[in-house]
Chain A
Amino acid sequence: MKPAPFEYSRARSVEEACALLAADDGARLIAGGQTLVPLMAMRLARPTRLVDIARIPELAYVRDVHVDDPQLHGREEASGEGKAAAVAIGATTKQAVVEHDALVRAKVPLLAKAMPLVGHDATRARGTIGGSLANGDSAAEIVLTAVTLGATLTWRVDGRTEQAEASQFFLGPMVTALPPAACLLEARFPVWSEPRVGTGFHEVNERHGDFAFAAAAAQIAVDGDGRCTRAALGIGAATAVPLRLDGVAKALQGTRCEESLVRRLVAEALAEVETMADLHASAEYRRRAAITLAVRAVSDAHRTARRA
Protein backbone atom coordinates (compact mmCIF):
# COMPACT_ATOMS: atom_id res chain seq x y z
CA MET A 1 0.00 0.00 0.00
CA LYS A 2 1.65 3.20 -1.11
CA PRO A 3 -0.87 5.97 -0.31
CA ALA A 4 -1.31 7.39 3.18
CA PRO A 5 -4.49 6.20 4.97
CA PHE A 6 -7.79 7.88 4.16
CA GLU A 7 -11.52 7.39 4.65
CA TYR A 8 -13.72 6.52 1.68
CA SER A 9 -17.27 7.66 1.00
CA ARG A 10 -19.35 7.10 -2.09
CA ALA A 11 -21.63 10.04 -2.86
CA ARG A 12 -25.05 9.35 -4.33
CA SER A 13 -25.64 12.92 -5.46
CA VAL A 14 -23.76 16.14 -6.15
CA GLU A 15 -25.28 17.70 -3.03
CA GLU A 16 -24.05 14.82 -0.89
CA ALA A 17 -20.58 15.09 -2.44
CA CYS A 18 -20.48 18.83 -1.70
CA ALA A 19 -21.61 18.24 1.90
CA LEU A 20 -18.90 15.62 2.45
CA LEU A 21 -16.27 17.98 1.02
CA ALA A 22 -17.49 20.89 3.17
CA ALA A 23 -17.32 18.74 6.33
CA ASP A 24 -13.64 17.83 5.93
CA ASP A 25 -10.90 20.21 4.75
CA GLY A 26 -8.72 17.30 3.69
CA ALA A 27 -11.39 15.60 1.59
CA ARG A 28 -11.01 15.35 -2.17
CA LEU A 29 -13.22 14.10 -4.97
CA ILE A 30 -12.27 11.01 -6.91
CA ALA A 31 -13.89 9.79 -10.13
CA GLY A 32 -11.49 7.99 -12.47
CA GLY A 33 -8.50 8.63 -10.23
CA GLN A 34 -6.00 8.36 -13.08
CA THR A 35 -4.07 11.44 -11.93
CA LEU A 36 -5.03 11.59 -8.27
CA VAL A 37 -4.05 7.99 -7.45
CA PRO A 38 -0.47 8.35 -8.81
CA LEU A 39 -0.13 11.57 -6.79
CA MET A 40 -1.35 9.66 -3.73
CA ALA A 41 1.03 6.77 -4.45
CA MET A 42 3.90 9.27 -4.41
CA ARG A 43 2.33 10.95 -1.38
CA LEU A 44 2.26 14.28 -3.18
CA ALA A 45 -1.45 14.19 -2.37
CA ARG A 46 -2.59 13.04 1.08
CA PRO A 47 -6.36 13.43 1.24
CA THR A 48 -7.96 12.46 4.54
CA ARG A 49 -11.11 11.35 2.75
CA LEU A 50 -11.94 10.40 -0.81
CA VAL A 51 -15.45 11.23 -1.95
CA ASP A 52 -16.23 8.97 -4.90
CA ILE A 53 -18.49 10.63 -7.49
CA ALA A 54 -17.89 8.13 -10.28
CA ARG A 55 -21.33 6.53 -9.93
CA ILE A 56 -23.51 9.63 -9.74
CA PRO A 57 -25.58 8.99 -12.86
CA GLU A 58 -26.47 12.60 -13.70
CA LEU A 59 -22.81 13.60 -14.07
CA ALA A 60 -22.04 11.37 -17.07
CA TYR A 61 -23.40 12.55 -20.44
CA VAL A 62 -22.58 14.13 -23.78
CA ARG A 63 -25.30 16.31 -25.25
CA ASP A 64 -26.14 19.16 -27.59
CA VAL A 65 -26.95 22.43 -25.91
CA HIS A 66 -29.30 24.45 -28.10
CA VAL A 67 -29.73 28.15 -28.57
CA ASP A 68 -32.98 28.23 -26.65
CA ASP A 69 -31.36 26.72 -23.57
CA PRO A 70 -31.99 29.29 -20.80
CA GLN A 71 -28.67 28.41 -19.18
CA LEU A 72 -26.83 29.65 -22.24
CA HIS A 73 -26.17 33.37 -21.86
CA GLY A 74 -26.44 34.50 -25.46
CA ARG A 75 -23.03 33.27 -26.51
CA GLU A 76 -21.84 34.50 -29.88
CA GLU A 77 -21.80 30.92 -31.16
CA ALA A 78 -25.54 30.82 -30.58
CA SER A 79 -26.35 31.91 -34.10
CA GLY A 80 -28.34 30.01 -36.71
CA GLU A 81 -31.78 28.57 -36.34
CA GLY A 82 -31.97 25.39 -34.33
CA LYS A 83 -28.22 24.87 -34.41
CA ALA A 84 -26.42 23.58 -31.37
CA ALA A 85 -24.28 26.24 -29.81
CA ALA A 86 -22.25 23.94 -27.63
CA VAL A 87 -21.66 20.33 -26.69
CA ALA A 88 -22.02 19.83 -22.95
CA ILE A 89 -20.01 17.01 -21.37
CA GLY A 90 -20.75 15.86 -17.83
CA ALA A 91 -17.78 15.91 -15.46
CA THR A 92 -17.56 12.16 -14.85
CA THR A 93 -17.95 11.19 -18.50
CA LYS A 94 -15.16 8.75 -19.22
CA GLN A 95 -12.45 9.92 -21.61
CA ALA A 96 -12.93 6.73 -23.65
CA VAL A 97 -16.62 7.61 -24.11
CA VAL A 98 -15.77 11.11 -25.35
CA GLU A 99 -13.08 9.68 -27.64
CA HIS A 100 -15.64 7.55 -29.48
CA ASP A 101 -18.67 9.86 -29.21
CA ALA A 102 -20.28 10.68 -32.57
CA LEU A 103 -21.57 14.06 -31.41
CA VAL A 104 -18.11 15.14 -30.24
CA ARG A 105 -16.57 13.96 -33.51
CA ALA A 106 -19.13 15.89 -35.57
CA LYS A 107 -19.34 19.08 -33.55
CA VAL A 108 -16.17 19.47 -31.49
CA PRO A 109 -13.60 17.99 -33.89
CA LEU A 110 -10.63 19.46 -32.02
CA LEU A 111 -11.58 17.58 -28.85
CA ALA A 112 -12.09 14.39 -30.89
CA LYS A 113 -8.58 14.84 -32.33
CA ALA A 114 -7.04 15.43 -28.89
CA MET A 115 -8.65 12.47 -27.10
CA PRO A 116 -6.48 9.63 -28.49
CA LEU A 117 -3.43 11.54 -27.20
CA VAL A 118 -4.76 11.55 -23.61
CA GLY A 119 -2.81 8.85 -21.75
CA HIS A 120 -3.43 5.31 -22.99
CA ASP A 121 -6.48 3.13 -23.69
CA ALA A 122 -6.28 1.72 -20.17
CA THR A 123 -6.22 5.15 -18.49
CA ARG A 124 -8.90 6.65 -20.77
CA ALA A 125 -11.15 3.73 -19.78
CA ARG A 126 -11.24 5.11 -16.21
CA GLY A 127 -10.16 8.73 -16.51
CA THR A 128 -12.84 11.41 -16.83
CA ILE A 129 -13.15 14.73 -18.66
CA GLY A 130 -13.83 16.59 -15.41
CA GLY A 131 -10.94 14.94 -13.60
CA SER A 132 -8.48 16.18 -16.19
CA LEU A 133 -9.98 19.69 -16.13
CA ALA A 134 -10.12 19.91 -12.32
CA ASN A 135 -6.52 18.72 -12.11
CA GLY A 136 -5.52 21.60 -14.39
CA ASP A 137 -2.23 20.27 -15.73
CA SER A 138 -0.93 22.49 -18.53
CA ALA A 139 0.32 19.38 -20.34
CA ALA A 140 -3.18 17.84 -20.40
CA GLU A 141 -4.70 17.74 -23.89
CA ILE A 142 -8.25 18.25 -22.61
CA VAL A 143 -7.14 21.36 -20.70
CA LEU A 144 -5.44 22.78 -23.81
CA THR A 145 -8.51 22.05 -25.94
CA ALA A 146 -10.81 23.72 -23.40
CA VAL A 147 -8.65 26.87 -23.36
CA THR A 148 -8.22 26.96 -27.15
CA LEU A 149 -11.94 26.66 -27.86
CA GLY A 150 -13.04 28.79 -24.91
CA ALA A 151 -15.03 26.09 -23.12
CA THR A 152 -17.20 27.06 -20.14
CA LEU A 153 -16.81 25.11 -16.91
CA THR A 154 -19.61 24.83 -14.39
CA TRP A 155 -19.41 23.70 -10.77
CA ARG A 156 -21.56 23.41 -7.68
CA VAL A 157 -20.45 24.89 -4.35
CA ASP A 158 -22.35 25.89 -1.18
CA GLY A 159 -25.69 25.27 -2.90
CA ARG A 160 -24.81 27.64 -5.76
CA THR A 161 -23.89 26.93 -9.36
CA GLU A 162 -20.93 28.93 -10.67
CA GLN A 163 -19.07 28.99 -13.96
CA ALA A 164 -15.96 30.33 -15.62
CA GLU A 165 -14.51 30.46 -19.09
CA ALA A 166 -11.53 28.11 -19.43
CA SER A 167 -8.95 30.90 -19.81
CA GLN A 168 -10.13 32.28 -16.43
CA PHE A 169 -10.33 28.83 -14.83
CA PHE A 170 -6.71 27.69 -15.08
CA LEU A 171 -4.61 29.89 -12.81
CA GLY A 172 -1.24 28.15 -12.51
CA PRO A 173 0.39 24.71 -12.63
CA MET A 174 -2.39 22.41 -11.35
CA VAL A 175 -4.13 25.39 -9.76
CA THR A 176 -7.67 26.23 -10.86
CA ALA A 177 -10.45 28.61 -9.87
CA LEU A 178 -12.41 25.64 -8.49
CA PRO A 179 -13.17 26.27 -4.77
CA PRO A 180 -11.96 23.49 -2.42
CA ALA A 181 -15.47 22.27 -1.59
CA ALA A 182 -16.77 22.45 -5.16
CA CYS A 183 -17.87 19.65 -7.45
CA LEU A 184 -17.27 20.25 -11.17
CA LEU A 185 -20.50 19.55 -13.09
CA GLU A 186 -19.77 19.97 -16.78
CA ALA A 187 -17.70 21.51 -19.53
CA ARG A 188 -19.34 23.13 -22.55
CA PHE A 189 -17.35 23.21 -25.74
CA PRO A 190 -18.53 25.82 -28.29
CA VAL A 191 -19.66 24.44 -31.66
CA TRP A 192 -18.52 26.32 -34.74
CA SER A 193 -21.37 26.70 -37.21
CA GLU A 194 -19.13 27.36 -40.24
CA PRO A 195 -19.46 24.64 -42.90
CA ARG A 196 -15.71 24.22 -43.46
CA VAL A 197 -13.80 23.68 -40.23
CA GLY A 198 -10.48 21.91 -39.80
CA THR A 199 -8.34 21.01 -36.80
CA GLY A 200 -4.75 20.30 -35.89
CA PHE A 201 -3.19 18.97 -32.68
CA HIS A 202 0.50 18.28 -32.19
CA GLU A 203 2.66 17.47 -29.18
CA VAL A 204 6.10 16.13 -28.32
CA ASN A 205 6.68 13.68 -25.49
CA GLU A 206 8.93 10.78 -24.60
CA ARG A 207 6.39 8.10 -25.40
CA HIS A 208 2.96 8.31 -27.01
CA GLY A 209 0.47 8.98 -24.21
CA ASP A 210 3.00 10.43 -21.77
CA PHE A 211 2.94 14.02 -20.58
CA ALA A 212 3.81 16.43 -23.38
CA PHE A 213 6.82 18.79 -23.19
CA ALA A 214 5.05 21.11 -25.60
CA ALA A 215 1.70 20.94 -27.40
CA ALA A 216 -0.34 23.05 -29.79
CA ALA A 217 -3.98 22.96 -30.86
CA ALA A 218 -5.68 24.81 -33.71
CA GLN A 219 -9.15 25.01 -35.18
CA ILE A 220 -9.71 27.00 -38.36
CA ALA A 221 -12.70 27.83 -40.56
CA VAL A 222 -12.17 28.83 -44.20
CA ASP A 223 -14.29 30.33 -46.97
CA GLY A 224 -14.64 28.96 -50.51
CA ASP A 225 -11.30 30.54 -51.47
CA GLY A 226 -9.45 28.83 -48.65
CA ARG A 227 -9.08 32.08 -46.72
CA CYS A 228 -9.33 31.81 -42.96
CA THR A 229 -12.54 33.33 -41.63
CA ARG A 230 -11.98 32.30 -38.03
CA ALA A 231 -9.15 30.75 -36.06
CA ALA A 232 -8.44 29.50 -32.58
CA LEU A 233 -4.90 28.59 -31.54
CA GLY A 234 -3.49 27.50 -28.20
CA ILE A 235 -0.23 26.14 -26.82
CA GLY A 236 0.09 23.92 -23.77
CA ALA A 237 2.70 22.08 -21.67
CA ALA A 238 5.40 24.66 -22.51
CA THR A 239 3.90 27.25 -20.16
CA ALA A 240 2.47 27.08 -16.63
CA VAL A 241 -1.07 27.23 -18.00
CA PRO A 242 -2.17 26.74 -21.61
CA LEU A 243 -2.15 29.99 -23.58
CA ARG A 244 -4.70 30.97 -26.19
CA LEU A 245 -2.98 33.05 -28.84
CA ASP A 246 -5.89 35.35 -29.69
CA GLY A 247 -3.67 37.93 -31.40
CA VAL A 248 -2.34 35.31 -33.80
CA ALA A 249 -5.82 33.93 -34.42
CA LYS A 250 -7.09 37.40 -35.31
CA ALA A 251 -4.12 38.15 -37.58
CA LEU A 252 -4.75 34.91 -39.50
CA GLN A 253 -8.24 35.99 -40.55
CA GLY A 254 -8.38 36.74 -44.27
CA THR A 255 -5.05 34.96 -44.92
CA ARG A 256 -4.31 31.51 -46.30
CA CYS A 257 -2.29 30.70 -43.18
CA GLU A 258 1.03 30.59 -45.03
CA GLU A 259 3.68 28.83 -42.96
CA SER A 260 6.11 31.78 -42.85
CA LEU A 261 3.34 34.09 -41.65
CA VAL A 262 2.19 31.69 -38.93
CA ARG A 263 5.75 31.10 -37.74
CA ARG A 264 6.44 34.85 -37.51
CA LEU A 265 3.17 35.58 -35.69
CA VAL A 266 3.57 32.75 -33.17
CA ALA A 267 7.24 33.57 -32.53
CA GLU A 268 6.29 37.20 -31.87
CA ALA A 269 3.44 36.15 -29.58
CA LEU A 270 5.73 33.86 -27.55
CA ALA A 271 8.74 36.19 -27.48
CA GLU A 272 7.93 37.62 -24.06
CA VAL A 273 6.22 34.51 -22.67
CA GLU A 274 8.00 32.56 -19.93
CA THR A 275 8.32 28.87 -20.76
CA MET A 276 9.00 26.12 -18.22
CA ALA A 277 12.21 24.12 -17.79
CA ASP A 278 12.86 20.75 -16.14
CA LEU A 279 15.14 17.72 -16.50
CA HIS A 280 13.44 16.70 -19.75
CA ALA A 281 13.43 19.93 -21.70
CA SER A 282 14.88 23.42 -21.34
CA ALA A 283 12.79 26.59 -21.51
CA GLU A 284 14.35 27.49 -24.85
CA TYR A 285 13.62 24.02 -26.29
CA ARG A 286 10.02 24.28 -25.15
CA ARG A 287 9.65 27.69 -26.80
CA ARG A 288 11.06 26.44 -30.11
CA ALA A 289 8.98 23.26 -29.96
CA ALA A 290 5.81 25.21 -29.15
CA ILE A 291 6.36 27.51 -32.15
CA THR A 292 6.97 24.62 -34.54
CA LEU A 293 4.04 22.59 -33.19
CA ALA A 294 1.76 25.63 -33.51
CA VAL A 295 2.84 26.03 -37.15
CA ARG A 296 2.06 22.35 -37.79
CA ALA A 297 -1.28 22.52 -35.97
CA VAL A 298 -2.39 25.56 -38.00
CA SER A 299 -1.16 23.94 -41.21
CA ASP A 300 -3.16 20.75 -40.48
CA ALA A 301 -6.23 22.75 -39.48
CA HIS A 302 -6.11 24.89 -42.61
CA ARG A 303 -5.56 21.92 -44.91
CA THR A 304 -8.37 19.85 -43.39
CA ALA A 305 -10.73 22.86 -43.42
CA ARG A 306 -10.14 23.35 -47.15
CA ARG A 307 -11.02 19.70 -47.76
CA ALA A 308 -14.08 19.76 -45.51
Chain B
Amino acid sequence: MNVELKKVELKVNGATHVVEVEPRTSLLDCLRDRLLLTGAHAGCEHGVCGACTVLLDGVAVRSCLMFAVQADGYAITTIEGLSPGPGELSPVQDAFCEAHGMQCGYCTPAMILTAHALLARNPSPTRAQIIEAISGNICRCTGYAQIVEAIALAADRMRGQNLPPDRS
Protein backbone atom coordinates (compact mmCIF):
# COMPACT_ATOMS: atom_id res chain seq x y z
CA MET B 1 0.00 0.00 0.00
CA ASN B 2 1.44 3.31 -1.10
CA VAL B 3 0.40 5.96 1.33
CA GLU B 4 1.05 9.61 0.71
CA LEU B 5 3.17 11.46 3.23
CA LYS B 6 1.52 14.01 5.47
CA LYS B 7 3.09 17.29 6.39
CA VAL B 8 2.82 18.09 10.08
CA GLU B 9 4.05 21.01 12.15
CA LEU B 10 5.33 19.99 15.57
CA LYS B 11 6.23 22.33 18.40
CA VAL B 12 8.88 20.51 20.39
CA ASN B 13 10.77 22.02 23.33
CA GLY B 14 9.80 25.49 22.11
CA ALA B 15 11.02 25.05 18.51
CA THR B 16 8.76 24.47 15.51
CA HIS B 17 9.61 21.65 13.12
CA VAL B 18 7.87 20.75 9.87
CA VAL B 19 8.18 17.07 8.99
CA GLU B 20 6.68 14.86 6.30
CA VAL B 21 5.70 11.49 7.68
CA GLU B 22 3.66 8.43 6.87
CA PRO B 23 0.45 8.53 8.93
CA ARG B 24 1.54 5.33 10.71
CA THR B 25 4.65 7.03 12.13
CA SER B 26 4.21 7.24 15.89
CA LEU B 27 5.06 10.48 17.62
CA LEU B 28 7.81 8.47 19.34
CA ASP B 29 9.43 7.37 16.06
CA CYS B 30 9.10 10.89 14.67
CA LEU B 31 10.82 12.42 17.70
CA ARG B 32 13.61 9.84 17.67
CA ASP B 33 14.24 9.24 13.97
CA ARG B 34 13.31 12.57 12.39
CA LEU B 35 14.08 15.13 15.08
CA LEU B 36 16.90 13.05 16.64
CA LEU B 37 15.46 13.54 20.12
CA THR B 38 16.38 10.10 21.40
CA GLY B 39 15.56 10.76 25.04
CA ALA B 40 12.07 9.34 24.54
CA HIS B 41 12.72 5.60 24.64
CA ALA B 42 11.03 2.83 22.69
CA GLY B 43 10.14 0.03 25.10
CA CYS B 44 7.08 -2.07 24.46
CA GLU B 45 5.63 0.27 21.79
CA HIS B 46 2.09 -0.65 22.76
CA GLY B 47 1.40 1.50 25.78
CA VAL B 48 2.36 -0.74 28.69
CA CYS B 49 5.86 0.25 29.83
CA GLY B 50 5.73 4.06 29.77
CA ALA B 51 9.35 4.47 28.54
CA CYS B 52 8.19 6.73 25.68
CA THR B 53 6.47 9.31 27.93
CA VAL B 54 6.55 12.93 26.75
CA LEU B 55 4.56 15.97 27.86
CA LEU B 56 1.72 17.35 25.71
CA ASP B 57 0.81 20.80 26.99
CA GLY B 58 2.47 19.80 30.26
CA VAL B 59 0.55 16.53 30.65
CA ALA B 60 2.33 13.15 30.52
CA VAL B 61 1.27 10.96 27.58
CA ARG B 62 2.64 7.91 25.82
CA SER B 63 4.26 8.96 22.55
CA CYS B 64 4.00 5.41 21.17
CA LEU B 65 0.19 5.57 21.40
CA MET B 66 -0.10 8.67 19.30
CA PHE B 67 0.66 9.27 15.66
CA ALA B 68 2.81 12.24 14.72
CA VAL B 69 0.00 13.48 12.43
CA GLN B 70 -2.18 13.88 15.54
CA ALA B 71 0.32 15.99 17.43
CA ASP B 72 0.16 19.37 15.66
CA GLY B 73 -0.87 22.31 17.81
CA TYR B 74 0.40 20.84 21.09
CA ALA B 75 3.42 22.06 23.01
CA ILE B 76 5.51 18.87 23.18
CA THR B 77 8.22 18.56 25.83
CA THR B 78 10.83 15.81 25.80
CA ILE B 79 13.57 15.16 28.34
CA GLU B 80 15.88 17.28 26.15
CA GLY B 81 13.67 20.29 26.86
CA LEU B 82 13.77 20.20 30.65
CA SER B 83 17.21 21.51 31.39
CA PRO B 84 17.25 25.27 32.12
CA GLY B 85 20.56 25.72 30.23
CA PRO B 86 23.60 23.90 28.81
CA GLY B 87 25.21 21.72 31.46
CA GLU B 88 22.40 22.34 33.92
CA LEU B 89 19.76 20.03 35.31
CA SER B 90 16.14 20.60 36.24
CA PRO B 91 15.37 20.14 39.97
CA VAL B 92 13.82 16.75 39.24
CA GLN B 93 16.81 15.59 37.18
CA ASP B 94 19.12 16.76 39.96
CA ALA B 95 17.08 14.92 42.61
CA PHE B 96 17.21 11.70 40.55
CA CYS B 97 21.01 11.93 40.54
CA GLU B 98 21.23 12.70 44.22
CA ALA B 99 18.77 10.02 45.38
CA HIS B 100 20.13 7.40 42.95
CA GLY B 101 16.77 7.27 41.19
CA MET B 102 18.21 5.36 38.24
CA GLN B 103 20.39 2.43 37.38
CA CYS B 104 20.37 1.48 33.69
CA GLY B 105 18.59 4.72 32.81
CA TYR B 106 16.16 3.30 30.29
CA CYS B 107 13.00 4.35 32.14
CA THR B 108 14.55 7.51 33.56
CA PRO B 109 13.56 10.21 31.02
CA ALA B 110 9.97 9.01 31.24
CA MET B 111 10.05 8.86 35.03
CA ILE B 112 11.41 12.41 35.19
CA LEU B 113 8.82 13.78 32.77
CA THR B 114 6.05 11.98 34.64
CA ALA B 115 7.36 13.51 37.87
CA HIS B 116 7.42 16.98 36.28
CA ALA B 117 3.78 16.59 35.21
CA LEU B 118 2.82 15.43 38.70
CA LEU B 119 4.62 18.27 40.49
CA ALA B 120 3.15 20.87 38.13
CA ARG B 121 -0.37 19.94 39.23
CA ASN B 122 0.43 18.87 42.78
CA PRO B 123 3.46 20.52 44.42
CA SER B 124 3.07 18.50 47.63
CA PRO B 125 2.24 14.93 46.62
CA THR B 126 1.95 12.24 49.28
CA ARG B 127 4.00 9.07 48.92
CA ALA B 128 0.84 7.29 47.74
CA GLN B 129 0.23 9.98 45.11
CA ILE B 130 3.81 9.67 43.84
CA ILE B 131 3.45 5.89 43.56
CA GLU B 132 0.11 6.30 41.78
CA ALA B 133 1.61 8.84 39.35
CA ILE B 134 4.47 6.53 38.28
CA SER B 135 2.35 3.37 38.32
CA GLY B 136 2.23 3.42 34.52
CA ASN B 137 6.04 3.51 34.19
CA ILE B 138 7.93 0.25 34.50
CA CYS B 139 11.45 0.17 35.98
CA ARG B 140 13.23 -3.18 36.10
CA CYS B 141 16.30 -2.05 38.08
CA THR B 142 15.63 0.13 41.06
CA GLY B 143 12.66 -1.45 42.79
CA TYR B 144 11.18 2.06 42.61
CA ALA B 145 12.16 3.05 46.17
CA GLN B 146 14.83 5.56 45.11
CA ILE B 147 12.61 6.92 42.33
CA VAL B 148 9.86 7.70 44.84
CA GLU B 149 12.49 9.21 47.14
CA ALA B 150 13.89 11.33 44.28
CA ILE B 151 10.47 12.73 43.39
CA ALA B 152 9.74 13.54 47.05
CA LEU B 153 13.14 15.28 47.28
CA ALA B 154 12.46 17.28 44.11
CA ALA B 155 9.03 18.28 45.40
CA ASP B 156 10.54 19.46 48.64
CA ARG B 157 13.19 21.54 46.85
CA MET B 158 10.79 23.02 44.32
CA ARG B 159 8.41 24.10 47.09
CA GLY B 160 11.28 25.90 48.79
CA GLN B 161 12.60 27.51 45.60
CA ASN B 162 10.73 30.80 45.82
CA LEU B 163 10.94 31.30 49.53
CA PRO B 164 13.21 33.98 51.01
CA PRO B 165 16.55 32.55 52.24
CA ASP B 166 15.68 32.70 55.95
CA ARG B 167 12.65 30.45 55.40
CA SER B 168 14.14 27.88 53.10
Contact = CB atoms under 8 A, between A and B. Distances in A.
Q: Counting chain B CB atoms within 10 Å of each CB, which of A42, A52, A122, A125 scores highest? A: A122
Contact of B50 (A37, A120, A126, A208): A120
Given A33-B65, A126-B61, 11 more contacts: A1-B29, A8-B6, A37-B26, A41-B46, A50-B23, A52-B70, A119-B136, A121-B117, A122-B61, A122-B62, A125-B59
Contact of B65 (A7, A34, A209): A34
Contacts of B69: 8
Give the top 6 A-B pairs by smallest Cβ distance, nearest first. A120-B136, A8-B23, A38-B46, A41-B46, A5-B1, A37-B65
B60 A122 contact: yes
A236 B66 CA distance: 28
A160 interface: no
16 contacts: A1-B25, A1-B26, A5-B22, A6-B23, A8-B69, A37-B66, A38-B47, A38-B48, A41-B45, A41-B46, A42-B46, A50-B23, A54-B70, A120-B50, A121-B118, A125-B56
A34 B47 contact: yes
A122 B3 contact: no
A2 interface: yes
B99 interface: no
A109 to B, nearest CB: 20
Given A1-B25, A7-B3, A125-B59, A120 B65 contact: no
Interface string B52-68: 01001001111011110
A5 B3 contact: yes
A7 B23 contact: yes
Contact of B47 (A1, A37, A48, A125): A37
B50 A122 contact: yes
Interface residues of B, number: 34
A6 B45 contact: no
A50 B6 CA distance: 13
B88 interface: no
Contacts of A72: none
Q: Give the size category of A's interface with B.
A: 20 to 34
B19 to A, nearest CB: 14
Nearest to A32: B65
B166 interface: no
Interface in B90-148: 114, 117-118, 132-133, 135-136
A4 interface: yes
Nearest to A48: B1
B159 interface: no
Nearest to B1: A5
B17 interface: no
Contacts of B53: 122
Nearest to A127: B65
A193 interface: no
B4 to A, nearest CB: 8
Interface string B18-36: 0000111110010000000
A123 interface: yes
Given A120-B50, A122-B62, A125-B61, A8 B136 contact: no
Contacts of B1: 4-5, 48
A33 B66 contact: yes
